[in-house]
Amino acid sequence: MIAIIQYNAGNIKSVENAILNLGYKCIVTDDAKLINSADKVILPGVGEASSAMKYLKEKKIDSLIKELKQPVLGICLGQQLMCKSSEEGNVACLGIFNSIVKKFPKRNITPHLGWNNMYDLKDVLFKGIKESDDFYFVHNYYCDLSLETIAVCNYIIPFSAAMKKNNFFGVQFHPEKSSKIGKTFLTNFLKL
């Protein structure tokens, strides 16, 4: 069973549909026992960091997430919440990744919206994926580069498109919105 953590963030339904379409059973929950007993855990999300962290703390899921031993995937805001802190709401986050979430420098166009590719792909999650393959991104904030970066994307500046530490994985892109290549990525995660 795949647990998708419910924490009042958007985009959870599309992640649930993507998992179901790949033939896996999943549940959307904020119940600590269900999350802890799941085979895999996904922390998805489109939303705002400080309100998301407030919900996780209120439900005491923040400390649970850090203790999980099964593979955990943070998507978009989910990856950002796994970092040390975020400039979005100036909030302390989960501290799994040694990275700070920052706002993109002001340019003519923000946010990073649309299709982009990545380079320096360094993990089995990218099996069957090439650096020329495009994924779908939508975000105003980014995770800076760190030793845990396993894929880099360029938008104004280079940033962590994917990160890994032990059983924790994070991606800034939306695999559930990235067509066939997104399915390949999610399948790689679900087969870990």
pLDDT tens-digit map of 44-100: 988 899 999 999 999 999 999 999 999 999 999 999 999 999 999 999 999 999 999
CA atoms of 51 and 117, how far apart (whole Å): 30
Residue 181's pLDDT is 97
Given a contact cutoff of 8 angstroms between Cβ atoms, the answer to whether 79 and 142 are in contact is: no
Q: Identify the burial level of 168 via C-beta atoms within 10 angstroms of its C-beta, where 0-12 means exposed, 13-18 middle and 19 or more buried.
A: buried
Annotated catalytic sites, by residue?
76, 174, 176
Residue 77's pLDDT is 96
Percent of the chain at pLDDT above 70?
Answer: 99
Residue 9's pLDDT is 79
Q: In what side-by-side order are the strands of the sheet with 141-143?
A: 91-92, 85-86, 100-103, 141-143
Q: In what side-by-side order are the strands of the sheet with 40-43?
A: 26-29, 2-5, 40-43, 72-75, 168-171, 157-165, 149-155
Domain 2-190, CATH:
3.40.50.880
pLDDT, the chain, mean: 95
Q: Per residue in 97-135, pLDDT tens?
A: 999 999 998 876 778 999 999 999 999 999 999 999 999
Q: What is the mean pLDDT of residues 21-34?
A: 97
CA atoms of 70 and 68, how far apart (whole Å): 6
**Residue 125, beta-bridge partner list:** none
CA atoms of 76 and 173, how far apart (whole Å): 6
What are the domain boundaries of the chain?
Answer: 2-190
Q: What is the pTM of this model?
A: 0.96
Residue 104's pLDDT is 94
Given a contact cutoff of 8 angstroms between Cβ atoms, the answer to whether 26 and 59 are in contact is: no
Which residue shows structure tokens 């059973």?
25
The closest alpha carbon to 148, from 177, 172, 127, belongs to 172
**Token pair of 133, please?**
């393959």
